Each structure stands twice: as structure tokens, then as C-alpha cells.
Amino acid sequence: MNRVVITGALSLLVTACAQDTGTSAVTDDAGEARVVDQALVAQGKREFIRCVACHSMNANGRAISGPHLEGIIGRQFGDVEGWQFPQHLSEHDFVWTESRMDNWLQDPQAMVDTMCLPFTGLSSEQARAALIAYMKNPN
Ligand code: HEC
């Protein structure tokens, strides 16, 4: 009971602060409040222009020439209903964590051969962080 009250008070506090800073509080799956940097998400959306020709961030979006990326952080590699991954990628067995995504975005073909060409990587750590923030908060 106490914990509920404290969590509630915390999210009020976070929401109050957010109005000044351009951040907002959302509740994640565990029910914990976390702060989203909306400016970073907006930058990530702009970075996504490198991907949008092939990928939708919405599972119900129109099928383009790549699998949708809704919920990609936390998703098993190559596990998208309705998308046939090429046989040579079946050797990869991992979950897309934030750090793995950061590594992949830096040097994509070094980690997964041939995937997502012509995207050959983002050297800016800040741009990668923005893209990941957008992937986690696409709406
Ligand atoms: C020219 C089209 C194209 C572009 C541009 C592209 N991708 Fe892809 N991507 C694909 C295809 C196709 C696949 C599925 C694997 C395959 O067929 O090689 C894929 C797979 C992926 C996967 C793995 C999905 C899963 O379920 O494991 C991720 C993550 C991904 N792309 C992210 C990106 C990001 C982020 C960008 C932009 C920075 C990008 N891609 C740019 C075509 C593209």
C-alpha cells in the first residue's frame, strides 16, 4: 500500500518536472515511472529517415521491404510473424537489447552480414542513442 502511494507521488513529481523540461513520464510494463526525453525521441524520429523506406515502427503499418520494428528492443532477432528472414541469418540467436542495438547501429554488417544495406552505420553516439529512444517510444 505504501509503495503504491510513493510510486504515485513520484510520478506526479516527475510529471510536474516534465512540464518544464520537455520530458514526460510514462509507465513501463513493470508499472514503474520513467522519464522520456522527448527532444531525444524527436531527433531519433528524424534519424529513422535512414530506415523508413524499409521499416515501419508499427506492427499494423503497411508492409514495406523489411520487417516491422514495433517493440524491437527486447525482441528476439528474426522473430517477426509474416516475415521470412533469409536462411543465412538463421545462425543469429539473440535478443535486441539496447546495448546490442547500439553495437549494431554503429557497424551493422559487421554484426549481421548483408542486413539493411545500404545502411552502413551511424558513428555518432548521440544519434544512435536518439534512434534507440525513438524505437522505445515511437508514438
Ligand atoms: C533497404 C532496406 C532496409 C533499410 C534501409 C534498413 N533495413 Fe533493416 N532490415 C531490412 C530487411 C530486408 C531486414 C530483414 C532481414 C533481411 O532480409 O536481411 C531488416 C532487418 C532489420 C532488423 C532485424 C529485425 C528483427 O526482427 O530482428 C533490424 C533491427 C533493422 N532491420 C533495423 C534497421 C534500422 C534501425 C535501419 C535504419 C537505421 C534499417 N534497418 C534500415 C531492410 C532494411
The percentage of the chain sitting over the pLDDT mark of 90, rounded to a whole number, equals 68
Homologous superfamily (CATH) for 38-136: Cytochrome c-like domain (1.10.760.10)
Cα 23 to Cα 26, 38, 114: the distances in Å are: 10, 5, 37
Q: Residue of the nearest CA to atom 43 in ligand 1?
A: 116
Q: How far is the CA of 108 from the centre of ligand 1 (A)?
A: 10
Residue 13 has pLDDT above 50, yes or no: no
Distance CA 79, CA 72 (A): 10
The string of pLDDT tens digits covering residues 44-96 is 999 999 999 999 999 988 768 999 999 999 999 999 988 999 999 999 999 99
Domain positions in the chain are 38-136
How many C-alpha atoms does 36 have within 13 Å on its Cβ side? 20
- pTM for the model stands at 0.83
Sequence-distant (≥ 6) Cβ neighbours of residue 127 within 8 angstroms: 43, 47
Q: How far is the CA of 3 from the centre of ligand 1 (A)?
A: 41
Q: How far is the CA of 67 from the centre of ligand 1 (A)?
A: 7
